[in-house]
Structure 1
């Protein structure tokens, strides 16, 4: 079930004003405590997500009570169902099971609620064994559960990427770009395809705008390199004009030439291997 999940962090960020409106409706200015679900909350949620109109008040009440019993406030509940209407189709037991699958990742309740509220699609994960295996792999690369959580907050689609794909990107950032884990987990770098990440890094290198740190350098020592988020969390136009100080057409031309360069290297490497096999 994990591989079928599709995330687009940029789309989610564009939806934040909508979620903020829902959250505002569920917040009583006189009391910060959890409020009861009211019809006005449901009506406004339906305006924002028409697919919610098919559910009865009883379904809303039952689901809200289930989430509330597990520590999620009304505002969080509304953001979750607005972002993932299918949650309301589930029985309380299935909702609880979805929450328990993620609790097993041991992020802590507060961090888990933030993650599920920001990316309600994560509640569609149903294979606990596969999830825990993937989380374990990520933890082996970024050291702590907190770093895994940060990774997911910035690149939620990493949960649906095969381990070898994630590994390839992390190896590039750690071994080639020589970046530290804290910088990696604060960026959306793992959302980029490997080819795009490699291309942007190569472009900066050839412009003389990026120099890998010496192997034994102090990670806290200042560097003139662009921050990773500036390299990866930007559009092609912003990356080209603001980070590389060139025009977008110049970067696009480089991408084409670089792809041909890599293709040529791959072809020559294969020809060399074939020649070696023939000699054997």
Structure 2
């Protein structure tokens, strides 16, 4: 019995002092161990980083997480460059989420800022997305496709979700589908996001379910306008009337947006690429002129506000309010 216990103690002692060899360009070098050798002279920079106090990420720990030797070295190099102090907890949270090492490495390559996250902050954001209805599978696809979502504070996610539900009148389920399929909306300007919805709703006569199905918010507003107006000019699209009726059969929104430009031209617009490119340039020039006009109008309004502030009787301010319809005098 005593011999058996003695053998177990010896095995534990040998394991404690064992090293994990990882292939490098010149033979094998012990990159990580549970304790440093007492007489090690001039340790390599990688060894210093591996055993730096507060940094728990080692090549051995990466291998134990399931990363291959190549993946572990690349991950360790990225963590070293970012100087992240909580990389181990971040990787643990991503593994617990169900992402495999290959997917995690791709996420880190797309968005190196994730290295600098705190594990507790990441877990809080993941839990919040779950509460919003992003269940397992959807959440993993969302993070893999758009890793920046892990950097956004909870407040920003709530603002976008509230705009989709209250201003654009999407249901809770539809808003969740938009965040899952088009997470880029979380970083877009809220006013531009709302305007894109209004363009599709009022100008094109498209309703919310069709917008979600066509992944409307993946496409930029300029590309949306260009494809829609090109069809309209060719007599292939018509804005519905108040009753939602048209004289022609409009193509579904998904056939306009969810296809490549080549497929769009051949199957929907039935036009050649040169014609569409000329039209795109004209649209871009028109939008540029509209932008200059808006900027000029804004400057005029600022000048009017300045004059109004200097005017004691407020006559110009009242006149401007009457013209715009805002802040009318009460009866």
Query: TM-score, normalised to structure 2's length?
Result: 0.55
DSSP 3-state at the match of 1:63:
helix
- Bigger Rg over Cα: 2
Quote the residue 1:16 is aligned against: none
CA drift of 1:92 comes to 2.4
Quote the residue 2:152 is aligned against: 125
Q: Following superposition of structure 1 onto structure 2, how do residues 105-116 of structure 1 map, counting pairs within 5 Å?
A: 105-116=132-143
Say whether residues 1:252 and 2:280 are aligned partners: no
Quote the residue 1:184 is aligned against: 211
Say what the alpha-carbon RMSD is for the aligned residues. Answer: 4.0
The alignment of Structure 1 onto Structure 2 pairs a total of residues equal to: 229
2:250 to 214, 218, 225: 225
State whether residues 84 and 120 of structure 1, in contact with CA within 8 Å, keep that contact through their aligned partners in structure 2. yes
Cα distance, 1:158–1:45 mapped onto 2, change above 3 Å = farther
* Aligned-partner Cα distance in 2 for 1:59–1:91: 5
Quote the residue 1:30 is aligned against: none
Larger relative contact order (CA 8 Å, sep ≥ 6): 1
Say whether residues 1:137 and 2:154 are aligned partners: no
DSSP 3-state at the match of 1:225:
coil
Quote the residue 2:202 is aligned against: 175
Quote the residue 2:65 is aligned against: 37
Say whether residues 1:166 and 2:166 are aligned partners: no
State whether residues 184 and 228 of structure 1, in contact with CA within 8 Å, keep that contact through their aligned partners in structure 2. yes
Mark the runs of 5 or more structure 2 residues left unpaired by the alignment: 1-63, 301-319, 324-331
Quote the residue 1:17 is aligned against: none
CA drift of 1:86 comes to 3.2
Query: TM-score, normalised to structure 1's length?
Result: 0.64
* Aligned-partner Cα distance in 2 for 1:44–1:216: 59
